[in-house]
Amino acid sequence: MKISKVFFALVVMLVFVGSLVGCAPAATPAAPTAVPATDVPAKKVYTYADMVVGFLQTGSEGGWRAANSASFKETATQLGINLKFYDSQNDLAKQVAGFQQFIEDPEVNVIVLQPLEVTGWEQAMKDAKAAGKTVILSDRRIDGLEDYYVTFIGADFVEEGRKAGREMCKMLEGSDSKNVWELVGNVGASAAIDRGVGFRETAAECGINITKSQTANWSVSEGKQVTEAWLKETKDVQGIFGQNDEMAFGAIEALKEAGLVPAVDVKILSVDATAGAFQAMLDGTLNVTVECNPLLAPQVYEAALAALNGESLPKWIPSQESVFYADDPNLKDIAAGRKY
């Protein structure tokens, strides 16, 4: 029996020791040696020198557009940005093709689109996102697709139209008739669509009757042709709203050739506030111009850099604008101080 007791005690001891070993925590693996901070790949911080911008300009339809193009070229040079400038020649198919070229260009990391029209962008925007390009809208908006661009930097064209309607109401106050003709920009452009919406909102408040409205595609020549044709039908017009300065200049020429005094017999109102508009106001042929700021490049490039560095941006960053009047006693000084 004594042997069995000894054996039993031995077994118990072995079991006890084993149980200790079994519960003993596994040897804790040595803590991973901390990777010295210098070996952790730092998150890249982009600078303007890293930016290669594919810029899709609408075309070269007038003074506003010339100032807008100069803003993007001059500011890119100042900031050291590699700017690839594409002139869409006011042709939507060309602009979409240029967009695709920038998507396929491995150098381009930012695409800035100034869309000719609000529609026709779905596939291009989806392709750009799939290719990892940062897309920013400038000057004009597109319909929908907010998930495919970082932000839109440009004017509130509806508000520009509202301002125009309010100014036309002021000019026609007390007039027996308030027949107004509207010269429209290129059909499908947000600037044309939205200015027309805003103008109708406020013009209706004072009983303005828009008796004629037609596209003149932002140009002086078409503005003149359309106004000439209308004047052959009737001269019962008290105001003309040019959705940009150039079309208003064409209307002014047509009025003169028809024996009417622009800005006196017929009130003339336009949008853009280019140097030409200030000259027309100083000449007494234009009554009012509503500003649309073309100098958008600094804001656009700043937003693009923020986006490359992962910052979130509002979907729309409106540009700040004013209204200018021929009867402003400081008009000459204001004109002298403007950049475009």
Closer to ligand AHR by Cβ: residue 139 or 182:
139
| Smallest distance from ligand AHR to CB 291, Å | 10
Neighbours of 123 (CB within 10 A): 11
Nearer to ligand AHR, 62 or 262 (CB): 62
Token pair 């111009």 is at which residue? Answer: 289
Q: Residue 240 belongs to what H/E stretch?
A: strand 239-242
Q: Which is nearer to ligand AHR, 59 or 238 (CB)?
A: 59
Minimum Å gap between C-beta 131 and ligand AHR is 27
Cβ-based nearer residue to ligand AHR, 65 or 178: 65
Taking the complex as a whole, the smallest distance from the CB of residue 305 to ligand AHR amounts, in Å, to 24
| Rounded-to-integer distance, Cα 296 and Cα 33, Å | 51
- Cβ closest to ligand AHR, residue 117 vs residue 272: 272
Structure tokens at 135: 């897309």
Q: Which is nearer to ligand AHR, 111 or 248 (CB)?
A: 248
Nearer to ligand AHR by Cβ, of 48 and 149: the residue is 149
Nearest distance in Å: CB 80, ligand AHR:
27
Q: In what order do the strands lie in the sheet with 134-138?
A: 82-87, 52-57, 110-113, 134-138, 151-154, 316-318
Closest by CA to 46, choosing from 112, 134, 136, 125, is 134
SS3 328: coil
**β-bridge mates for residue 289, sequence order:** 270, 324
Q: Which residues of this protein are in contact with ligand AHR, per CB under 6 A?
A: 61-62, 64-65, 139-140, 191, 218, 244, 271-272, 292
The enclosing H or E element of 135 equals strand 134-138
How near is the Cβ of 65 to ligand AHR at its closest, in Å?
5
Sign of CA dihedral 262, 268, 272, 273: positive
Structure tokens at 45: 């911080």
CB of 149 vs ligand AHR, minimal distance in Å: 17
Rama region for 182: left / alpha / beta (φ>0; ψ in -120 to 50; rest): beta
Query: Residues 254, 227: contact at Cβ < 8 Å?
Result: yes
- State in angstroms the smallest separation of the CB of 190 from ligand AHR: 7
Tokens of 300: 């656009």
